Chains A and B, each alone.
Chain A
Amino acid sequence: GQQVMQIPQYQHVQEGEDFTTYCNSSTTLSNIQWYKQRPGGHPVFLIQLVKSGEVKKQKRLTFQFGEAKKNSSLHITATQTTDVGTYFCAAISGGYNKLIFGAGTRLAVHP
């Protein structure tokens, strides 16, 4: 079945440093979603990317969808302690909005 791989699994940064997580698939994706899960919390939707080469920004967060629609990335500029959590990419599979989640990248930010 469809799988999405995320790297790295875990990243430590100092506050103010940048952070990037990558999501890769062996098959072409119709679209991809990103979610954030705070420690002890539930996943919260961040964004959906649909078009090849699409770039979207939300304040310090930049999301990209690869030209071949097989990979995606999330970049956070100048991390803050509020960015702590696990970031998941999720690919849509099939015709009923089924999501296949990656394993996530856990971000720790040290003040």
Chain B
Amino acid sequence: EAGVAQSPRYKIIEKRQSVAFWCNPISGHATLYWYQQILGQGPKLLIQFQNNGVVDDSQLPKDRFSAERLKGVDSTLKIQPAKLEDSAVYLCASSPINRQGAYEQYFGPGTRLTVT
């Protein structure tokens, strides 16, 4: 079974520039998550999709971050304009839905963003 794919793996941009990340979840996983992980901290959920609908975006800075999952499969996360404090690893994860007692999340390798 192929894992969660993310690209790019690394990105360096200047502040006020824009950037986009792509994620392809495990086939058949209905739920997709985007997390921000700042160095030395645990992952923080930015947005959660179930199929192509948003079920939680309470911690997404909506003035600069946006995400979509148009066909209920792959997803993009965009930052525009970027700030220095956006430097972090952006992790995508997916999980199956309604599988009894098995809601583990499968994480992709992440995109390390550096904003200079």
Could you tell me the distance in whole angstroms from the C-beta of A108 to the nearest C-beta in chain B? 14
| Docked CA distance A96–B48 (Å) | 9
Q: Are the C-beta atoms of A98 and B107 separated by less than 8 Å?
A: no
Return the chain A residue nearest B58 by Cβ. Answer: A1
Q: Does B50 have its Cβ within 8 Å of any Cβ on chain A?
A: yes
Given contacts A92-B103, A96-B31, A99-B105, could you give 18 more A-B pairs where the C-beta distance is less than 8 Å? A33-B103, A42-B110, A43-B93, A43-B105, A45-B104, A45-B106, A48-B104, A90-B42, A94-B56, A96-B55, A96-B56, A97-B48, A97-B95, A97-B105, A98-B48, A98-B56, A101-B42, A101-B44
Q: Are the C-beta atoms of B42 and A45 separated by less than 8 Å?
A: no
Return the chain A residue nearest B97 by Cβ. Answer: A97
Q: Does A84 have its Cβ within 8 Å of any Cβ on chain B?
A: no
Residues of B bordering A, CB below 8 Å: 31, 33, 40-45, 48, 50, 55-56, 91, 93, 95, 101-110
Q: Are the C-beta atoms of A44 and B101 separated by less than 8 Å?
A: no
Could you tell me the distance in whole angstroms from the C-beta of B81 to the nearest C-beta in chain A? 27
Q: Which residues of A contact B42 (CB under 8 A)?
A: 88, 90, 101-104
List 19 A–B pairs whose Cβ atoms lie within 8 Å, in order of A's numbering: A33-B105, A42-B91, A42-B110, A43-B43, A43-B93, A43-B105, A44-B107, A45-B106, A50-B101, A90-B42, A92-B103, A94-B56, A96-B50, A97-B95, A98-B56, A99-B33, A100-B45, A102-B42, A103-B42
Return the chain B residue nearest A45 by Cβ. Answer: B104
Could you tell me the distance in whole angstroms from the C-beta of A83 to the nearest C-beta in chain B? 19
Q: Which residues of B contact A102 (CB under 8 A)?
A: 42
Q: Are the C-beta atoms of B41 and A43 separated by less than 8 Å?
A: no
Q: Can you list, as one digit per residue, whether each of A10-41 has a CB less than 8 Å from chain B (1) or not (0)?
A: 00000000000000000000000100000001
Q: Which residues of A contact B103 (CB under 8 A)?
A: 33, 48, 92, 97
| Docked CA distance A48–B108 (Å) | 19
Q: Which residues of A contact B107 (CB under 8 A)?
A: 42-44
